[in-house]
Structure 1
Amino acid sequence: MLDQPRADETQLRIDLAACLRLAARHDWHEAVANHFSAAVSDDGRRFLVNPRWVHFSTVRASDLLLVDADDPSTMDRPDAPDPTAWTIHAALHRALPQARVALHLHPPYLTALAGLKDPRIKPIDQVTARFHNRLAYDLDFGGIAHDASEGDRIARSFGNHAAVLMGNHGVTTLGATAAEAYDTMYHLERAARTIVLAYSTGQPLAIMPDDLAEETARGWEVDPTERTAHFEQMKRILDTEEPEYRQ
């Protein structure tokens, strides 16, 4: 039997449940699919993941499953997670030390970009420039991630980046905290929306020169505490309107 949650695990549960609720609010979710996780052990191998086929808008902190990436019997449990959640997130938490929190989604604009021959987010404003040379692209989609080899391949696609745009698939963001992973996802989807809307005009893009795009990207890194503040403000809204997420 698993031990009772430690204080830090309790907070991780609350924060991951908040991410799930916020994803539903933003219309990033896809029916009862997609999955989020958060490492609770120092080596990352014990992690929380959302329960199988439960709508993001209803998940509470206590609903999250605690699993072990090195335990192959996980999928034999009566409460086993979604098979693709296990394949992708177990691989991420085994392979990537930066994957303390991992959010995998198929949000509308990023998924639209993922379906293009050239899915790159080009620096045409401050938000798109945030990801200049800071986003991995995985263009080797191998089908629905039911096989462990697909999870391992996805983990390798990150390199040293904290997010990957997955061609013909979706997106995954990583963070040292839920706040970081959420804020990255939020701004990535906004960047994708800007690019898609700009493409829709049919006019040429005003792409920044590399040096300006790099300077703009570095500007986002001056005070990363803004990302924590963003997440805390969003949780305050949930605390007022959906306080049961903390249960």
Structure 2
Amino acid sequence: MLHHAPARPEAERAHRAERVDLAAAFRWTARLGMHEAVANHFSLAVNETGTRFLMNPNQMHFARIRASDLLLLDANDRDTMARPGAPDPTAWGLHGAIHRLVPHARCVMHVHAIHATVLACLKDARLPPIDQNTATFYRRVVIDEQFGGLAFEEEGTRCAGLLSDPKCKVMVMGNHGVLVIGESVADTFNRLYYFERAAETYIRALQTGQPLRVLSHEVAEKTAKELEDYPGQADAHLGELKAILDAEGSDYAS
């Protein structure tokens, strides 16, 4: 049986709908095995400028996170790490910097999912458009080739500087993992899910040793644009995941 600390004060249970969506994303990410122990983090901006954000508590497993467990932080609060219940310092360094410096990054998800991380370990970490899923990300990925160690504040600020182009919502963090941004939890989780699937397809295709059937620039760009404009898929995806969790009696929304 899972045991949790008592619920936090009402002020820390604000933004109910956003908390529920983010908690569902944590639970499903763990179910898919895309997490890494207690080391990865998701965050979601909850004010207009993007500087106030929800994030998972320090060292809590994705499979246990509830809506009420999420921290409410201020990217401009320089005393955050000195306060009781402070977040993981690398999470603060990376997510705090992004929410402070990249206002279009409303939601930020960083994981060490295996296939995306394998891609990040290749000398050429580009993802060629070899099927519909890989084409989704055609010319929409930035590759960080200057890994500088754990994402404390200086490294987090450097990474945030790579996300200036709103078109590029995935960062392959060379020698590290993947970071995905989006407009909402549903938008970002859907992108994270499909990027890991796309990376798996590419890695498995490489393992065959056979030549790749790469789409033309015209078809790849057309496919990416069509999928960007495809209505409602991300919201439906997250909605179905929450419905499954609800039917199972999960406490994620509590």
Shorter chain as normaliser: what TM range? over 0.9
Q: Distance in 2 between matches of 1:110 and 1:59?
A: 24
TM-score of the two chains, using structure 2 as the length reference? 0.93
2:63: which partner in 1?
57
Q: Match for residue 35 of structure 2?
A: 29
- In structure 2, the gaps of 5 or more residues are 1-8
The aligned counterpart of 2:3 is none
1:124/1:207 contact within 8 Å kept: yes
**For 1:150-191, what per-residue CA distance to the aligned partner results, in whole angstroms no more than 9, with x for missing partners?**
111111112312111111011111111100000000000000
TM-superposition CA deviations, 1:203-228 (whole Å, max 9, x none)? 11111111111111112023241111
Partner of 1:235: 242
Equivalent pairs counted in the alignment come to 245
User: What pairs with 1:91-170 in structure 2 (closer than 5 Å)?
Assistant: 91-146=97-152, 148-160=153-165, 161-170=168-177
In structure 1, how many angstroms separate the alpha carbons of the residues matched to 2:13 and 2:180? 25
Q: Is this contact kept in 2: 1:69–1:93, CA < 8 A?
A: yes
1: CA distance, partners of 2:251 / 2:10: 23
CA-CA distance at 1:242 after TM superposition? 4.6
Give the ranges of 4+ consecutive aligned residues of structure 1 lying more than 6 Å apart after TM superposition: none
Partner of 1:216: 223
Change (3 A) 1:242 1:136: farther
Gap regions ≥5 residues in structure 1: none
Contact 1:98 1:162 survives alignment (8 Å): no
* Alignment partners' CA distance in 1, 2:231 and 2:179: 20
Q: 1:139 to 1:209 in 2, by over 3 A?
A: same
Contact 1:129 1:214 in 2 (8 A): yes
Deviations 1:113-159 (A, max 9, x none): 1000011111000000010011111111111112x221111111123
- Of 75, 78, 84 in structure 1, the residue corresponding to residue 81 of structure 2 is 75
* Mapped pair 1:190 → 2:197: yes
**With structure 1 as the length reference, what TM-score do the two structures score?**
0.95
1:174 aligns with 2:198: no
Identity %: 48
Q: Is the 8 A contact 1:109 1:196 kept in 2?
A: yes
Query: Conserved in 2, the CA contact under 8 Å of 1:135 and 1:165?
Result: yes
RMSD over equivalenced CA pairs, Å = 1.6
